[in-house]
Amino acid sequence: MTARQSYTHGTSPTVLLGDTIGADLDRAVATWPDREALVDVESGRRWTYAEFGAAVGELARALMAGGIAKGDRVGIWAVNCPEWVLVQYATARIGAIMVNINPAYRTHEVEYVLKQAGVRLLVASLRHKTSDYRAMAEQVRGKCPELREIVYIGDPSWEALLGRAAPDVAYPELSCDDPINIQYTSGTTGFPKGATLSHHNILNNGYFVGESVAYTEQDRICIPVPFYHCFGMVMGNLAATSHGACMVIPAPSFDPKATLEAVQQERCTSLYGVPTMFIAELNLLDFASYDLSSLRTGIMAGSPCPVEVMKRVVAEMHMDQVSICYGMTETSPVSLQTRIEDDLEHRTATVGRVLPHLEVKVVDPATGVTRPRGTAGELCTRGYSVMLGYWDEPEKTAEVIDAGRWMHTGDLAVMREDGYVEIVGRIKDMIIRGGENIYPREVEEFLYAHPKIRDVQVVGVPHERYGEEVLACVIPRDPADPLTLEELRDYCAGRLAHYKIPSRLRILDSFPMTVSGKVRKVELREKYGV
């Protein structure tokens, strides 16, 4: 009998939304006018759906009065704040294309994005921590010929922008397939590429992610992940507004204490984060003092969750319906998700099963032929969520979206018999030691159970004889009593194949991270691979 192929698709009686983001927000405002839509914990500001809809309309009319038309690009370079959310929905309302700019970017990167996307108006934070956004923006504005205006949040220029709003204007006619958002994906080489997404892409993805965790208008979602990334603005904001739920901003950037305070104060039912965020929250010295009993669900994404961390999230944070999501910016972002009834093993060993109205398959990276279930290959996805393309880069688009409209993720995956998918690494992260393939995730998961290890990342580094060797970068539970290489190797002996056992060890205080909370493995390789 022929083995089942690593292909599956999501069926559902719930149909795709054919609306624009503005039309979907109108429905929410009409249905739940008096329910809270948005809360900013730091400033104490609150909006009901009726108030939020009015604020979005005011900003949309102000943008139009300032000459922003359908298809024009509006950049947003800011930390999490209510104005970020207003810009997201106001640009969608008028068909302008919002360009998300990473708050960690500096002048060189910002100048590239502003030029590459042809941004006409930039909305920016004034400053945050050590970042002086005004100084950096003023440095580059003269080098960007299409940039007409910069508006700063919390500055008179923001009030001046709102002051332009005409009382009554006709919004342009829009299609749900119009481009609405450009998100720059962090390139490992060269400059980042602008994934261009439509209303249809991100509205539906936010909606079906919310459906998978059973959101209703009773839910209050704590969103400590950055809005500039799909995790915040799609899985957070659009999942909320498409269900009448409330968006809660705990702080401008991730702060574990502020996050738990927000959950407690606002009685949040859902909490988002990458595993490192949950680890930071669980490791607060006063963690047990927070009342988190209102939580029932949440989403973990960005990287796999260690089993021990998941156990604590379920038991101590009351998140027995927590969900794991897998995706990428180019797919709006989520393709696979665990469901609220899934067991611990599925939530930690897999990234879930395909979402409704999407297809996924696992193929041989060399030939493109679909692999049998249970064997590793490249994960590909197809459906409503696949981006329109990289902004103004058709050749780069063709490198990742094939003639069949399959998006090639670059991730190594195994599809189980039950259709759930395990991510075993990036094609580029896979370690090849003396001809043996090693998937870092497998080694990391094993090492997480060591009593002296708080967090661990495994990378391949050059080796003269074997090509590559295994380096374990470890954050110890007790810095005063760090792990030794001998202890580590003794722990692995007889339990891991010899070629998977780390031959090198680095004790670190922290890992280099992206703003969205992913560990920069490339930096670990470069820094410690010598």
Q: Each residue of 451-461: pLDDT tens digit?
A: 999 999 999 99
pLDDT of residue 435: 77
CATH code of 488's domain: 3.30.300.30
Given a cut of 70, is residue 204 above it in pLDDT? yes
Question: Is 14 inside a domain boundary?
Answer: no
| H helix count then E strand count, the chain | 17, 28
127-131, 207-211, 409-413, range with greatest mean pLDDT: 207-211
Q: Are residues 341 and 406 in the same domain?
A: no
- Specify if 3 maps to a domain: no
440 occurs within a structural domain: yes
Indicate if the alpha-carbon torsion angle 200, 203, 209, 213 is positive or negative: negative
Q: What is the DSSP pairing of strand 453-463 with strand 179-185? A: unpaired
Q: How is residue 516 annotated by DSSP?
A: T
Claim to verify: residue 147 and residue 267 sit in the same structural domain: yes
Q: Are residues 408 and 350 in the same domain?
A: no
- Secondary element (H or E) of residue 109: helix 107-117
Token representation of residue 380: 């590909």
Helix (H/G/I), strand (E/B), else coil: 37? strand
- Statement to judge: residues 377 and 399 lie in one domain: yes
With a cut of 50, say whether residue 106 has pLDDT above it. yes
Residue 228: closest CA among 483, 516, 524: 516
The predicted structure's pLDDT at residue 307: 87
What confidence score (pLDDT) does residue 432 get?
81
Q: State the Cα–Cα distance between residues 416 and 422, nearest whole angstrom.
A: 8
The answer to whether residue 2 sits within a structural domain is no
pLDDT reading at 81 higher than 90: yes
Residue 522 in this model has a pLDDT that exceeds 50: yes
Phi, psi of 507 (to 5 degrees): -95, 125
Banded pLDDT at 270 (limits 50, 70, 90): very high
Q: Do 210 and 265 belong to one domain?
A: yes
- The confidence score (pLDDT) of residue 518 equals 78
Paired sense of beta strands 7-9 and 36-40, if any: unpaired
Q: Is the pLDDT reported for residue 271 higher than 70?
A: yes
Q: Are residues 420 and 507 in the same domain?
A: no
Write down the pLDDT at residue 517. Answer: 72
| Same domain (yes/no): 353, 231 | yes
Q: What is the pLDDT of residues 309-341, one digit of tens each?
A: 999 999 999 999 999 999 999 999 999 999 999
Task: State yes or no: pLDDT of 140 exceeds 90.
Answer: yes
Percent of the chain past pLDDT 90, that is, above it, reads 84
Residue range of the domain that includes 198: 21-357
| Structural domain contains residue 8 | no
pLDDT at 513: 86
Name the domain count of the chain: 3
pLDDT of residue 186: 64
Question: Can you list the pairs that 436-439 forms with residues at least 24 positions away whose Cβ atoms lie under 8 Å?
Answer: 436/497, 436/499, 438/470, 438/499, 438/500, 439/376, 439/412
- Predicted pLDDT of residue 188: 40
Q: What is the pLDDT of residue 2?
A: 64
Report helix, strand or coil for 363: strand
CB 323 within 8 A of CB 340: yes
Lowest pLDDT segment from 183-197, 243-257, 286-300? 183-197
Q: Does residue 7 belong to any structural domain of this protein?
A: no
| Burial of residue 473, with CB atoms counted within 10 A of its CB: 0-12 exposed, 13-18 middle, 19 or more buried | buried
- The per-residue pLDDT of the chain, averaged, comes to 94
Pairing verdict, β 97-100 and 7-9? unpaired
> Would you state the structure tokens that stand for residue 48, as one six-digit string?
């009901």
Query: Over 90: is that where the pLDDT of 433 sits?
Result: no
